[in-house]
Structure 1
Amino acid sequence: MKTFLNILYWFLIVIALIQFIPVDRTNKPVDEKVNFVTVQNTPKNVTEILKKACYDCHSNETVYPNYAYVAPISWSIKNHINEGREHLNFSEWKNFNPDLKKNMLENSAKSVKDYSMPMTGYIAQHPEANLTKAERVLLVNYFEELLKSGKY
């Protein structure tokens, strides 16, 4: 029993100490002139879907939940956000070259269609991001229309 209490004591000390390791949760300022919804003149219904299901990880408009301030959970969340922005950042849309935009739209359509986005773990904590079949169809159609038009 004494060994267990000793392990528990040190575990709690470590958990308390790692809270002091900083995680940068600063969002870059959003320039509307390069933001996807502005550049593409995205319809309001599509914009609402993007904002509720995609923008936390794929834009510079992340809203961090309360649990994102507790280590080591905060490290995992920040890592997911960094990876999401690396693959697609709607806030910097106009800064990308046409080939990259095309690739991002194709991957977005595929990911929404095959239910790999939004991620299951994200949906578990953000039920509003759980897209209906109709919302998924709307998003996929929007992305595919942009691809067909070549105006991205």
Structure 2
Amino acid sequence: MSLKKKILVGLAIILIGIQFFQPLQNQSGEVKDTHIEKVYAVPQNVKAVLQTSCYDCHSNNTLYPWYSRIQPGAWFMAKHIKEGKEELNFSDFGSYSTRKQRNKFRSMSNQVNDGTMPLNSYTLIHRNAVLSLEEKQVLTKWFDAMADSLQ
């Protein structure tokens, strides 16, 4: 067997082998009392956008597509979700201090307004998560109003 074939066989074995090592999924199945929707009256139009464009990476319940079980992509997704939840977790939003909540609302408004959220790497695959101008305005208006109410 040539060196090239040995390398290809070795890579195939590695790719098949890593499929057996799946990360834990981010699915709690419950809505905690600290969830933003239990702490604040979230208008339906805001809630719909948050569910479509934000919750997969920023809550305790991710909706996983079929490709999320294929390695090494699943590891990348798990890392991405972990980092997203460390930055902002809508499931734990009510446990944040008032100051932190106000700062998060301001930050969310700025990031949605300047187009840095949702991430391009997410919207590349999840086309329905791309925010329209109207959705950006709905979110930033509500985020700004919430930040102002927490003065």
Calculate the TM-score normalised by the size of structure 1.
Answer: 0.93
Match of 2:19 in 1: 19
Residues 34 and 91, structure 1, Cα contact 8 Å, conserved in 2: yes
Distance 1:30 1:103, change over 3 A: farther
Q: What is the rounded CA distance, in whole Å, between the counterparts of 2:27 and 2:95 in structure 1?
A: 17
Match of 1:83 in 2: 83
Distance apart, 1:82 and its partner CA: 0.4
Q: Aligned to 2:55, what secondary structure does the other structure show?
A: coil
Cα distance per residue 1:48-85 (max 9 Å; x no partner): 00000000000012111111111110000000000111
Match of 1:53 in 2: 53
Match of 2:109 in 1: 109
The one-letter amino acid paired with 2:15 is I
Q: What is the rounded CA distance, in whole Å, between the counterparts of 1:82 and 1:116 in structure 2?
A: 18
The one-letter amino acid paired with 1:111 is Q
Residues 55 and 62, structure 1, Cα contact 8 Å, conserved in 2: yes
CA RMSD of aligned residues (A): 1.5
Q: What is the rounded CA distance, in whole Å, between the counterparts of 1:53 and 1:26 in structure 2?
A: 16
Q: What 5-or-longer segments of structure 1 have no aligned partner?
A: none
Q: What is the rounded CA distance, in whole Å, between the counterparts of 2:107 and 2:5 in structure 1?
A: 50
Residues 102 and 147, structure 1, Cα contact 8 Å, conserved in 2: yes
Residues 58 and 89, structure 2, Cα contact 8 Å, conserved in 1: yes
Cα distance per residue 1:76-130 (max 9 Å; x no partner): 0000000111111111111111122122112111110110111111111111101
Tell me how many residue pairs correspond in the alignment: 151
Calculate the TM-score normalised by the size of structure 2.
Answer: 0.94
Q: What 5-or-longer segments of structure 2 have no aligned partner?
A: none
Match of 1:136 in 2: 136
Distance apart, 1:31 and its partner CA: 3.3
Q: What is the rounded CA distance, in whole Å, between the counterparts of 1:18 and 1:9 in structure 2?
A: 14
Q: What is the rounded CA distance, in whole Å, between the counterparts of 1:104 and 1:147 in structure 2?
A: 8
The one-letter amino acid paired with 2:105 is L
Identical aligned pairs, as a percentage? 31
The one-letter amino acid paired with 2:33 is K
Distance apart, 1:2 and its partner CA: 2.0
